[in-house]
Amino acid sequence: MAAEAAAWSEADLRWMARALALAREAEAAGEVPVGAVVVRDGRLLGEGYNRPIAACDPTAHAEVEALRAAARAADNYRLPGSTLYVTLEPCPMCAGALLHARVHRLVYGAPDPKTGACGGVFPLLQDPRHHHRVRVEGGLMAEPCGRLLKAFFARRRGGARKGGEEKGGEEPHG
């Protein structure tokens, strides 16, 4: 299970607020509202939000977009000492990307009861066979993060066509 932090720092709250603002940008673009930022030494390295529909790219999740931007900024695909803040517990693909990037710490908002891979459904980051360990902390601003997702999907279900799903599907990450 992900650790629930007893007390969040001012920096944690500020960076998750930025991730939540990015999630709202995704929502405004018609994407599933998930946002992410990568921070190291108190400095923003990269940020992103879900954009698989616009990018025609199933891997364009918020975490991957933020990791790509951070790796470019660091001029290195490895991001030791970094923290990734994301509004929704990462899926298996994104958890794998965190491992490969050597992210030090993951802080997520809302748990993902369907595809969460960081202590929820699939505890991929806790598997002892990995060479790298990511410190996982969940629940930061979980209520506003979860509320944004729930409202998005309630609107989508209300507007879904009969007999088929809308472009982009109903998956939490996109």
Catalytic residues: 63
Structure tokens at 152: 């998005």
DSSP tag of 49: E
CA distances from 59 to 40, 51, 98 (A): 23, 9, 13
Length in residues, the chain:
174
**Phi and psi (nearest 5°) for 117?**
-120, 20
| H or E segment and range at residue 127 | none
The SS3 call for residue 109 is: strand
Number of Cβ atoms within 10 Å of the Cβ of 26: 25
